Structure 1
Amino acid sequence: MIDSGAERPAKLLVKKQKKEKRKEDSLINKIPTRAWVFISFLTAMIVWYLLSINPQTSRSFPNVVLVVESIKVMIDRGAFFMDIQSSLISVSAGFVLGFIIALPVAILMAWYRPVRYIVEPWIQFIRNIPPLAYVPLVVISAGVGRKPQIIVITIATFLVMTITIYQGVLNVDETLIKAARVLGANDKDIFIKVIAPATLPFIITAIRLGASVALTTLIAAESTGATAGLGMRIRALNNSFDSPPMLLYIIVIGIIGITLEKGIKLLERRLTGWQEKREI
């Protein structure tokens, strides 16, 4: 078949675009990862500076120097490290409890229909309720202090991790399960040798989402009469409109979140190195 004159320019244009894209990709690939991190950080600093000199946003985003100086102020008050420690204890305890409960519940939901029909509707129902809405009920039952904080974080992390792990178990190839049964495997063997390895990537994803939810629930959890904590301190500083330390505490929560994410990614690479992933 002979190309018409109208088709040739279109093909030439497509070839040219592909060639330009290859050049662009090769240029991007030459830039090391550390350079991208520096570029990203520099961009954030520029945006922060612009926000700090804008009259409309300067009160919410004070100059970086003021925020750094507020570290010493909060340390002198004896609050900075105490708040970090208190929040880490609550987040860690709530996350661990949420995972311990979510794992068996998700597996039972996926494996046994009666459990799924009874439990899943309530999980979906409660999952759509913001934690701040049921904090007063938790405080009435558990009192004030750390206990209600852990309960609120446990509920929030349990819900998101249960749904994620549940979907992972459902996505296990049915052929593998049938083959295991044909070879004489019982439910215990199927769980350990088939479902657990196949669901591991979803479990890692559940851990990642659970850690994120635990941090995002922190302010709601620490509204339960806490005497220390990052979320509690942000609310207290908000009442006095003290922007520099308030922004500092928000940044600290973000740093903790990034640190957890990096740790989970390292765990994922070690446990799921066999899994093929698309390179981007």
Structure 2
Amino acid sequence: MATVTTQAVRTESEKQQKRLKTGAGSRNLLIGLNIVSIVLGIGIWWGLALAGFQFPTPAEVVQKAVQLWQAGILQEDILASLGRVLSGFILGSAVAIPAGFLMGWYTVARGLLEPWIQFFRTIPPLALLPLVLVLLGIGEVPKVFVIFLAAFLACVISTYQGVVSVDRTLINAARVLGAKDGTIFLRVVVPASTPFILVGMRVGLGSAWATLVAAELLAAQAGLGYRMQNAQLYYDLATIFVGIVMIGILGLVMDRLLLLAESKLTGWQERR
């Protein structure tokens, strides 16, 4: 009997090691493909610039970025834009997650909140810019507000969908075992909804960055979007490309941080 048990443990251990090796191989392949994709993309960009398209070459964009950095302009713009995006995104997620839980868990809250959320979801946050400008003035508040709205609307629906998608069998099993509603919510609903919440946050983060450029039209004095709009007046394509590349890099880094958090918080989830 002991021999059979030992053999079973050894077999399971071998399977686990095989899965780890397979996962490591897949990650290495993915990283390699990412590098190839980036190099290929830069090569296509460079080729189009040399072929006569009105693009600055990557070298010219790097040179312009160095000039802006040495002048202290790029750092100021990055900090201003990051502050607005992070403020709007964090506030939007902080409000969206409880609202999504309430809508998914309580029928009364769903009936009261869902019509308004669906109503505002059909209105692009950018369409509210004139109204926000009139009501909130031209300071930082209106810029953060439209970013907040974009992040909130993306995250709240995903959170709500996560709650209503929880397997009822899990909830019923917890009730049979004597768990109260509070325990079921914390031990069953929240963990099961976490993947949906993180997906919603990733979508909300993308919406926040997408709204940034238009938000910085509201009488901003610094920011990547503001710098791009200002460069447009002088047909300064290199500066416009610097802003585009920096927004892409910052957004990508923040998205990867959310992916890292997702892998840590949802390690229990079976993956393919």
- The answer to whether residue 143 in structure 2 is matched with residue 149 in structure 1 is yes
Match of 1:125 in 2: 119
The one of 29, 37, 40 aligned to 2:37? 40
Q: What are the ranges of 5 or more consecutive residues in structure 2 without an aligned counterpart?
A: 1-24
In the alignment, the residues of structure 1 paired with residue 210 and residue 155 of structure 2 have an alpha-carbon distance, to the nearest angstrom, of 15
The one of 207, 212, 216 aligned to 1:218? 212
Which amino acid counterpart does residue 174 of structure 2 have in structure 1? A
Which amino acid counterpart does residue 86 of structure 2 have in structure 1? S
Is contact 1:212-1:257 (8 Å) kept?
yes
In the alignment, the residues of structure 2 paired with residue 85 and residue 273 of structure 1 have an alpha-carbon distance, to the nearest angstrom, of 33
Residues matched between the structures, number:
248
Deviations 1:48-72, CA, capped at 9 Å, x for gaps: 02221233xx32x211121111113
Match of 2:100 in 1: 106
Which amino acid counterpart does residue 236 of structure 1 have in structure 2? N
In the alignment, the residues of structure 2 paired with residue 122 and residue 43 of structure 1 have an alpha-carbon distance, to the nearest angstrom, of 45
Match of 2:182 in 1: 188
Match of 1:197 in 2: 191
Match of 2:15 in 1: none
Match of 2:51 in 1: 54
Match of 1:263 in 2: 257
**Alpha carbons of 1:160 and 1:38: their partners in 2 closer, same or farther (altered >3 Å)?**
closer
The alignment-based identity, stated in percent, is: 41
Q: CA deviation at 1:128?
A: 2.2
In the alignment, the residues of structure 1 paired with residue 192 and residue 109 of structure 2 have an alpha-carbon distance, to the nearest angstrom, of 22
Match of 1:8 in 2: none
In the alignment, the residues of structure 1 paired with residue 125 and residue 111 of structure 2 have an alpha-carbon distance, to the nearest angstrom, of 24
Deviations 1:208-230, CA, capped at 9 Å, x for gaps: 11111111111122121111111
Q: CA deviation at 1:73?
A: 2.5
Name the SS of the counterpart of 1:114 in structure 2.
helix
Q: CA deviation at 1:255?
A: 0.3
- The answer to whether residue 167 in structure 2 is matched with residue 170 in structure 1 is no
Q: CA deviation at 1:244?
A: 0.5
Instruction: Let me know the Cα RMSD of the aligned residues.
Output: 1.9
The answer to which of 242-251 and 174-183 deviates more is 174-183
Deviations 1:159-213, CA, capped at 9 Å, x for gaps: 0100001000010011222222233333221211110111111111112111111
Deviations 1:101-138, CA, capped at 9 Å, x for gaps: 10111111112222212221221221122222101111
Which structure shows the higher helix fraction?
A: 2
Is contact 1:131-1:220 (8 Å) kept?
no
Dislocated runs of 4+, deviation >3 Å: 31-35
Q: What are the ranges of 5 or more consecutive residues in structure 1 without an aligned counterpart?
A: 1-27
Q: CA deviation at 1:33?
A: 4.2
Greater CA radius of gyration, 1 or 2? 1
Which amino acid counterpart does residue 37 of structure 1 have in structure 2? N
**Alpha carbons of 1:141 and 1:176: their partners in 2 closer, same or farther (altered >3 Å)?**
same
Match of 1:7 in 2: none
Q: CA deviation at 1:36?
A: 2.2
Is contact 1:135-1:152 (8 Å) kept?
yes
Match of 1:136 in 2: 130
**Alpha carbons of 1:149 and 1:178: their partners in 2 closer, same or farther (altered >3 Å)?**
same
Name the SS of the counterpart of 1:249 in structure 2.
helix
Which amino acid counterpart does residue 90 of structure 2 have in structure 1? V
Superposition TM-score, scaled by structure 2 size: 0.85
